[in-house]
Structure 1
Amino acid sequence: MPRTKPVMGAGRRWVVSGLLLAAIGIAFSSLAPAFEGSDWWLRGMVVSAAILLAASATRSLTRVRVLASVIALVVAIVVMTFFFVPSTAIFGVIPTGESFAAFRELDVAGNNDIATQTVPAEATEGIRFLLCLGVAAVTIAVDALVQLFRVPALAGIPLLILLLVPGLIRAEFADPAPFAFVAAIWLAVLIVSSGRSVTRATVVTGAVALVAALIVPAFLPGIEAPESSSAAGGSGATASLNPIITLGADLRNGAPVDALEYRTSDDSPQYLRLTALSNFTGESWAPTGLPRDGTDIEEMGPVPGLGEGITATPLTTTVEVEGVSSRWLPVPYAASGITGLDGEWNWESEGLTVRSADSNARDQQFEVSSVRAEPSVEQLVASDATPVTGMEQYLELPDELPAIVGETAAEVVLGAGSSYERAIALQAFFRAGSFTYSEDAPVDQDFDGSGAEVLAPFLEVRSGYCVHFSSAMAAMARTLGIPSRVIVGFTPGLPFPSGQNGQFTSYQVTTENLHAWPELYFGGIGWVRFEPTPTRGVPPQFAPLDADDPSTPDVDESVPPPTETDPQPVPTPTTTAEAPENLGPDAADENTPADTRQSGIPLGLVVSALAVLVVLSPALLRALVRARRLRAVARGSALDAWKELRDTLDDLGHRVGEELTPQQLVAELAPVLDAEGAAALSRVRDAVETHAFRPAPAEPAPADLRRVLRSMYRSAGVGRSLLAVLAPRSLVRPFLPDVAV
């Protein structure tokens, strides 16, 4: 009996849907190492289950197979609307134009978060949306391949895409267990959907798939994400909460984009801090603690360590964030209260940094009340007389710290008496001229990063960027017994006249101002900023002594230190809509010129390219088979012409069997071919028959075969022809058993 597409009963359809849900759940769970929590997985599985349930129920009620796939798509949109944008929908489930606009915003936010976070990434609402969208697409695809197009063998392609993603993020995430389980379920889908008989080829194929599932993941290439770092003390901080990890890539991003604009109550420039990193693990600097939920940002705590007698000037700063997104809020030190923010924000008492778990600084405009401490040089020199207690965590050094760090520090501060004098000596050591600022040298010479192991080559090469200078000075200060930490934020930016008639000064800060610098702690004064990076930032200014202190030859205390910024033109701020993306600690805008994006290939682009390649691979393979056969026909092979005709029939949905004769093939095709195609088919049939029965057979003409193929595709229509090209059934026919209609 001729071979036909398998026809499943209602019971088997439900079983297959259950198997597909299990396969999708296991494949989707393979992403667990890349994302925090499990809510993203649960949401995705609800979406997948709803789609499969709706499709199976529809098939039980109607014989119009395509209607089930349409209903599945509608249910996917309804469930996604209910989960992510119910406030924009009718009754919370029926999407409107506003709903699709909100979907677009979630798509942009999710891609930004994925592009800028490191693993394990925080599953933000945008990321959850993208994950659910992806699992919905995979579910609809596998259901259609098995139930609508009846090519269950091709259902493994969308599942394979899901399974490959973890290995693309990091090679060690490629776990063979999910591959093996999904391969086993895929084999079960083949058996159940194919009907009552199972061929030896099907069993062999399944066994090969299982073996490959255990072996292939070990050889998958990985796209290494930046190193991660967990905070100590059980804070739960990860690299996704640590802007210093990606600061080097941010600085090398290309053309700068406007990040924010601010002005202060006294028109003075300000460093704006994002986060304080005090836990030096050896792998990187990381936050020791994170802002706690419930802390009121309108009334923040006292300035750590600030004693009586230190001049403290109240200051008000208005900040408007523009072209970057960040869960850390850029604020001056030391903030005492913040108003005007949307969303939930929290602060931590040691660093006075501000962060949100689910809000974003982008497009926020807020006002910060702060205190600017202004100690004198005399007070800094005398600070050693004030006992410093409880600062052990700011003196800890990793065991793998290279010896050159401490040795160099001891040489640099030789002869310096107070902690202040030693700090000034360290700062002068880096800025005196023997070190150069370079964003490329660390990459070229393989010591990029902020870990302990990069400090030795940095001190030898004497070239790097702010991460290296701040990390080196902070580590050297700790070897000298001075508490230290590293701050990530923005340098002051460029001033420009603003307001009516330019009556006050605003400052424009771009992503080029992203920076890291050390803060050192002095008894009775608190944390004091220093600037070791040459040609970047402004060294701190302290209230001068009445006369120069001869004990500190590297600095003239009788006058404020000079500002080390080169004259620069007044910037013309760009609008947010023109701002490039991926140029900040966490993310940025979607309207990005291609030449301003991060160096390297974005993960999303790699996955998309892989998905397109996998989806098109059956079509490419089928095209190669056809080209090989046409070459063989040109050499006189009638058998290859016969095989190509039979496989094309199969691809276009016609009945095909191994016992089909040339006469039967002509009878099958003649009614649907045009006159030219029918005549060409007769000549091809004659060549096939004479090849079998005559000593001197006629040779088939490749042109005739092409005419027949073109006529077959024209008669099949656009939809059937497109399906035949993208999902050629002939490729998997040897693995499918015969099933009666």
Structure 2
Amino acid sequence: MSRGRVPESLLAGAASAVVAWPLTTLFTPNTWIRPTLAVIAVVVVVGILVRMATTSWVLVILGQLGGVVLVSGWLYGRGHLWHGLPTVDMVLTFNRLLVDARLTVQNYAAPAPTNRGIILGIGLAIAVAAIIVDHLAVMRRSPAMAGLPLLTAFLISASNSGDALNPMYFVAAGGVWLLMLGRQGISSLRRWSTTVPLSTNGRRSSDDRDGAYGYAAVGRTLAVAGLVTAVALPVVIPHLPTRYLIDGLGRSTDATGFSDGQIGLKSTLDLTRSLNNPSKAPVLTYTTNAPVLTPLRVGVLQTYANDQWRPDTPDVSYSRRPQVELPRELDDSIPRETYRLSVDDSRIEAPQIAAPTPLVSGDLDGVAWGLDRQTSVASVNRSARSYSFNYLALNPTSGALDQPVEPATGALLPPELQVDPASEPLVRQLVGEVVPEGASRIEAARAIQNYLRQSGGFSYSLQLPETVTNDFGQSERPDAISLFLRSKVGYCVQFATAMVMMARESGIPARMAIGFLPGTADRGTYTIHASDAHAWPELYFNGIGWLRFEPTPSGAQNTVAPPYSLAPTSPDSPDPSASASSTNVRPTNTRPDGANDPGAQDPTTTTGTSGKGSSFLGPQARTALLWILIGLVVGVLGSLAVPLAARARLRRRLRDAPDEATRVEVEWQSMVERLGDLGVIPPRGSTPRQAGRFFQREAYLEGEESQALVRVVDGVERSRYAPPGTTLTDVRPDTQRVVRAVAGVRRRKDRLRAAWWPSEGLLEWRERRDRVVRTVRGPWDRLRERLTDKD
């Protein structure tokens, strides 16, 4: 079986499986694990069998690729095989599945849903990685090089997770790779020639510290130290940008750390997922001349199915100077004002771009952009860091908004009028209770908004309930919209979705927009953070177009409802829409309680002035500072470990010395070791007098320091050669003076190494480690000896 290299093959397969483990943080549910493990097993088994028949690495790889194709066809291509063999139809099926996987990666933030395409994509990707690892680690006997594909596979997970990975993922992957490296190193070492005799069983003596076992012990120590350092070091260094897949899974709204990398809102919002991790990452800064701020939109969603909003295929023609036309449905009689918004340092990924609506013109500094023909959403072909837009602020009058509701008829409704079938009965019931009979379009919209925002008893929370209790006291798990309408607990996505469905049920075309709240002001400049992500409904009015409404309660977020969406308080009160252009109030976006939507809010943001009780450092900054302090304390204590061990070793040896002569010998050996740490090492086998002359010459000792060295040498010679009963003097003060004198003429790096990394301290820790190992392995060694004696 040696030609098959079974142990090395199994280790390579285990390494490929372990580096795939962190993918569980990117996709849910984990239905891809078993098929992927099966593919890895095929790579390992086929590699062993082919190597037993031939030494050609080409045939081994071809055999493994053939095995992967066959097992992939059996696992994923059922119904597209010919007597168990792949066909052209199976290739076309795989292509469609992989296209679905690519769209899933692009349209979802982690964790993305696992579908057949994702399962196939993961299986094939890990299979290719397993073949490369097997070739490098087993055929080429280069496990160090095999670490490169393993690292690449690991980085796919590490660089696309919004949260930091659990250290166990890294420890497991690093541990298996080190096992591969250690096995190859020991095998290579044993092939070297040696004068160490072999025992009767053919192995070198286990107590030979110069043999393979000694090197293996040192290697294990270094490996454990490296893993511990690699896990502990990221605590005190910044988190790098999540940019590995560029525009896919790395776009997490709950990414944290000190990264200044680009972000993007996911186009599909999972209504059942609660995003609890706060994010302080800035998205963009801007200035505007508008008296009333408006949210910035990055996308529009019209299709809702299976508790999720699904993005539609965009229809955009990109140009550096596109022809921007006003919405065709906008009547010239609608009052409007034109304002300008200038953005600096935008970190939103292409094709998304934050913009107000409707747009009049734009200058993106040479970046090609355009408007979607269906939704009028702006998009870019590459990320734009700075840009400016001119846009309209519409101020429709009550007369223009007072339009009759026209219930849609027909078997096939357009997407903007389709109500989710699962929740339609409950939505129809609520619309009948909330919307007055014979209400106009604006009256129905205002009634729905008021019900969700104020009068319906809804509360804002990121912790979504999973079940509700029915009239019989039983727990039920309805669809996502019904769950929200019955529990009355949710965040902006639930509020916006409920209003969209209730408006559609009332006969008003509606859709959901995603983007960012206006942000916080500081000296006329507004800053939007990732925590300002928001969703709101847009309703269609003839002659006007799509208008924003705000059902999310203002107490949870700093959401401000547009004036036209608010009903007059009395017949004599002025039209709220008429004052939209005259008001000079700038809505702020300060979060009162640290909540976030859909990621989190920034409780430390202000509107430009520092209120009472405000903290100089936010919670995340204080947490980071605490970890830095803890890291510094641990680092200081760790740096003192070796010097303290050296001092403890010297004190113990002096305490255990049986007589004065032994104590003098201990002091002499300690001085020689410390001078050796400084780089002054006497010739091997030197007598005390010869060593003394060497020290004096190499360290240029003169005067009192030279006399101290003479006294130390004389003391050592008397301790060794004087008759018993001779009085001996304490040489410790002189040894310390000599060490200080030698240190004074050495380089700074030599002094630092001698102070923080003394050889006596290292020897002390090595002996302590050996004692622990002997204690732990003692019972096992005794049991093995007994079993050997019985045999």
Q: Which residue of 2 aligns with 1:317?
A: 339
Secondary structure in 1 aligned to 2:745?
helix
> Does the CA contact (< 8 Å) of 2:339 and 2:393 recur in 1?
no
Q: Which residue of 1 aligns with 2:390?
A: 368
> Does the CA contact (< 8 Å) of 1:263 and 1:317 recur in 2?
yes
Where structure 1 has 5 or more consecutive residues not aligned to the other structure, the ranges are 1-25, 37-117, 121-155, 447-451, 497-506, 573-582, 736-741
Counterpart check, 1:170 vs 2:165 = yes
Change (3 A) 1:488 1:380: farther
Change (3 A) 1:683 1:208: closer
Change (3 A) 1:436 1:203: same
Counterpart check, 1:488 vs 2:501 = no
1:529 Cα deviation (Å)?
0.6
Q: Which residue of 1 aligns with 2:643?
A: 623
CA distance in 2, matches of 1:30, 1:685: 67
1:485 Cα deviation (Å)?
1.4
Per-residue CA deviation, residues 409-429 of structure 1 (Å, 9 max, x unaligned), is 669736566675554233213
CA distance in 1, matches of 2:719, 2:738: 19
CA distance in 2, matches of 1:394, 1:519: 13
CA distance in 2, matches of 1:455, 1:643: 82
> Does the CA contact (< 8 Å) of 1:489 and 1:514 recur in 2?
yes
1:175 Cα deviation (Å)?
6.6
1:718 Cα deviation (Å)?
1.3
Per-residue CA deviation, residues 484-525 of structure 1 (Å, 9 max, x unaligned), is 3143224498899xxxxxxxxxx7645499463412343756
1:347 Cα deviation (Å)?
4.8
Find the partner of 2:214 among 179, 184, 201.
201
Matches within 5 A, 1:52-67: none
> Does the CA contact (< 8 Å) of 1:405 and 1:472 recur in 2?
no
> Does the CA contact (< 8 Å) of 1:280 and 1:286 recur in 2?
yes
Matches within 5 A, 1:411-450: 413=434, 421-432=443-454
CA distance in 1, matches of 2:420, 2:684: 75
Find the partner of 2:538 among 514, 520, 524.
520
Counterpart check, 1:679 vs 2:701 = no
1:203 Cα deviation (Å)?
1.9
Matches within 5 A, 1:149-548: 169-171=164-166, 174=170, 176-181=172-177, 199=211, 200-207=213-220, 238-239=251-252, 240-242=263-265, 259-263=285-289, 269-276=292-299, 278=301, 294-296=318-320, 298-300=322-324, 303=327, 307=329, 316-322=338-344, 325-327=347-349, 329-339=353-363, 341-345=365-369, 347-356=371-380, 359-362=383-386, 364=387, 366-370=388-392, 372=394, 374=396, 381-385=403-407, 392=415, 413=434, 421-432=443-454, 470=496, 473=499, 483-491=510-518, 509-511=526-528, 514=532, 516-522=534-540, 524=542, 526-535=545-554, 536-542=558-564
> Does the CA contact (< 8 Å) of 1:344 and 1:356 recur in 2?
yes
Change (3 A) 1:340 1:230: closer
> Does the CA contact (< 8 Å) of 1:636 and 1:700 recur in 2?
no
CA distance in 2, matches of 1:554, 1:670: 103
CA distance in 2, matches of 1:436, 1:192: 70
> Does the CA contact (< 8 Å) of 1:542 and 1:560 recur in 2?
yes
Q: Which residue of 2 aligns with 1:559?
A: 575
> Does the CA contact (< 8 Å) of 1:273 and 1:330 recur in 2?
yes
Per-residue CA deviation, residues 167-211 of structure 1 (Å, 9 max, x unaligned), is 983227527335543675589899999x99764321233356668
Secondary structure in 2 aligned to 1:516?
strand
* Letter matched to residue 669 of structure 1: F
Change (3 A) 1:685 1:668: same
Per-residue CA deviation, residues 681-701 of structure 1 (Å, 9 max, x unaligned), is 954994799599979997967
Secondary structure in 2 aligned to 1:721?
helix
Per-residue CA deviation, residues 662-716 of structure 1 (Å, 9 max, x unaligned), is 6665455343454438727954994799599979997967765554443343222
* Letter matched to residue 343 of structure 2: V
Change (3 A) 1:380 1:248: farther
> Does the CA contact (< 8 Å) of 2:519 and 2:532 recur in 1?
no
* Letter matched to residue 174 of structure 1: F
Secondary structure in 1 aligned to 2:289?
strand
> Does the CA contact (< 8 Å) of 2:537 and 2:548 recur in 1?
yes
Change (3 A) 1:31 1:472: same
> Does the CA contact (< 8 Å) of 1:259 and 1:511 recur in 2?
yes
Change (3 A) 1:273 1:384: farther
CA distance in 2, matches of 1:711, 1:302: 86
User: Which is higher, the Rg of structure 1 or of structure 2?
Assistant: 2
> Does the CA contact (< 8 Å) of 1:629 and 1:640 recur in 2?
no
* Letter matched to residue 551 of structure 2: P
Secondary structure in 2 aligned to 1:600?
helix
Secondary structure in 2 aligned to 1:170?
coil
Change (3 A) 1:347 1:308: closer
Counterpart check, 1:719 vs 2:749 = yes
Higher mean alpha-carbon deviation, 524-533 vs 418-427, is at 418-427
> Does the CA contact (< 8 Å) of 1:492 and 1:509 recur in 2?
yes
Q: Which residue of 1 aligns with 2:678?
A: 652
Question: How many matched pairs?
Answer: 539
Change (3 A) 1:178 1:119: farther
Change (3 A) 1:480 1:369: closer
CA distance in 2, matches of 1:596, 1:288: 44
Change (3 A) 1:726 1:544: closer
Secondary structure in 1 aligned to 2:697?
helix
CA distance in 1, matches of 2:363, 2:574: 39
1:242 Cα deviation (Å)?
1.1
Change (3 A) 1:719 1:420: same
Q: Which residue of 1 aligns with 2:116?
A: none
Secondary structure in 2 aligned to 1:522?
strand
> Does the CA contact (< 8 Å) of 2:431 and 2:506 recur in 1?
yes
Per-residue CA deviation, residues 594-617 of structure 1 (Å, 9 max, x unaligned), is 966764259998998899899988
* Letter matched to residue 170 of structure 1: L
* Letter matched to residue 299 of structure 1: Q
Per-residue CA deviation, residues 61-99 of structure 1 (Å, 9 max, x unaligned), is xxxxxxxxxxxxxxxxxxxxxxxxxxxxxxxxxxxxxxx
- Higher relative contact order by CA 8 Å / sep ≥ 6: 1 or 2? 1
* Letter matched to residue 269 of structure 1: V
> Does the CA contact (< 8 Å) of 1:310 and 1:375 recur in 2?
no
1:531 Cα deviation (Å)?
1.7
Where structure 2 has 5 or more consecutive residues not aligned to the other structure, the ranges are 1-15, 27-108, 112-146, 195-209, 253-262, 467-478, 589-599, 658-662, 767-791
Percent identical residues:
16
